[in-house]
Amino acid sequence: MSAFEYRDCTLYCEGVPAGELVAQFGTPLYVYSRSEIVTRFREFRSAFAALDPLIAFSVKSNGNLSVLRLLADEGAGADIVSGGELYRARLAGVPAERIVFSGVGKTVAELAAALEAGIYAFNVESAGELRELEGLGEATGVAAPIALRVNPDIESPTPHAYTRTGHRETKFGIPIEEALRLYRAAARTTGLRVRGIDVHIGSQILEVAPYVLAVQRVLEVVDELRREGIELEFIDVGGGFGIPYEGEPGVPAAKFGEALVPLLRETGLRVVLEPGRYIVGPAGVLLTRVLYIKDMGEKTFVITDAGMNDLLRPSHYASYHRVAPAEQHPERATITVDVVGPICESGDFLALDRAVEQPREGELLVIGEAGAYGFSMASTYNARPRPAEVLVDGENARLIRRRESYEDLVRGEVECL
């Protein structure tokens, strides 16, 4: 059962009504359910339990320190893509040996910091990055643990082109032929420690087949390396496991596990997985207040106090998030509206042509499935302070990030006046 449900027409997060949260913390407000995060993490882990994998939670999906701490306590590691995410993960208590570092544009300073921290592996995405790491390894006397992120050249079925990363036309990964050459060269160095192999084909994937195909391609590389005497320790299958956004049944982690566990188990390699959205997406909502209802004849606009700066996904990927009143009034008629924010852009919307219960000015709306890539993609565009974040645990709601202030907005600039 979801942690967000209506009781007598009032939306609750666990034991706390949405209205109470807003009375205490204001709007827009990101609300996460502790139990839902933990339940989803455990469900994911049990789907792959036979492999005893390292589950490196993808920090980019939700990097709040309290969320990271909660997952670290559950045994999760972290998939990071920047020095900032390394900082967050370490501050939240994620052990360095459970951290993998992906991304095409890691700076030398970021590589050096992660090497010094003692992370599990760098998922290397280019020959240039490998060269930098070799130099760092030699200079410090600590061989850099590496995996090459292979580009398997497959089309992954994601809802938007921006989140497809498995084919050749993207900037991600290294073509297989080149990866083989780089592995051979890396194995001869003292600055590098060849440790694994990595693939990540995209995000919000609701099919099992592309994973199977990607893993098969990667295992061909593993076999070839083995024939050449280069033994790997781990295979990282990446993240991307999708969630249902429109209330459809979705694909449980167990389905991915059923298909992948047998394939991976026979390799004898340690397995790393990098889920983000699957763990936190359904465990969070965004609460927003209706400011105005504007009837333009052709269209009715519901103007909310949350905009694209708070939740970018609808604008950026044309993605669907459920929108509903926090207090249901079943007697109300259903009308079709655009739910839009206060930002001065026509592309600022949370939902287009959406059938909703006739909204009223001043009422609260809930935007569903906002726990992943919600706050983490929020900005201060239009000089709007970013929202607060709250973690609900049973009857208790804990502020895990305070709402930004105007002072926060100008903090880095004041000394220049």
| Interface with ligand LLP (CB under 6 A) | 58, 61, 79, 102, 163, 200, 203-204, 238-241, 274-278, 313, 317, 372-373
Inter-residue contact 117 to 168 (CB < 8 Å): no
Angle, in degrees to the nearest 10, between helices 253-265 and 209-227: 20
| Count of beta carbons in the 10 Å neighbourhood of residue 225 | 19
Largest CA distance in the chain: 73
Tell me if 372 sits within 8 A of 280, measured CB to CB.
yes
Q: Is 13 annotated in the active site?
A: no
**Cβ-based nearer residue to ligand LLP, 120 or 373:** 373
User: Of 34 and 200, which CB lies nearer to ligand LLP in the complex structure?
Assistant: 200
Q: Which residue, 124 or 337, is less far from ligand LLP as judged by CB?
A: 124
Angle between helices 127-140 and 108-117 (to 10 degrees): 50
Taking the C-alpha atoms of residue 387 and residue 321, their distance in angstroms, rounded to an integer, is: 18
Residue tagged active-site, from 9, 13, 344, 416: 344
Least distance from ligand LLP to the Cβ atom of residue 403, Å: 22
Which DSSP state fits 386? P
Q: Name which of 287, 300, 367 is nearest 333 in CA terms.
A: 300
Question: Rounded to 5 degrees, what angle do the CA atoms 23, 28, 29 make?
Answer: 70
User: Which is it for strands 144-151 and 334-340: parallel, antiparallel or unpaired?
Assistant: unpaired
Q: Which is nearer to ligand LLP, 187 or 251 (CB)?
A: 251
Q: Which is nearer to ligand LLP, 239 or 359 (CB)?
A: 239
- Token readout for 167 is 């084919």
- Kindly state the smallest distance separating residue 276's Cβ from ligand LLP, in Å: 3
Residue 195 CA to residue 210 CA, distance in Å, equals 24
Q: How far is the CB of 23 from ligand LLP (least distance, A)?
A: 30
Q: Are strands 284-295 and 29-33 parallel, antiparallel or unpaired?
A: antiparallel
Minimum distance of ligand LLP from residue 285's CB (angstroms): 15
The least CB distance from residue 413 to ligand LLP, in Å, is: 28
Distance of CA 49 to the CA centre of its chain: 22
Catalytic residue annotation: 344
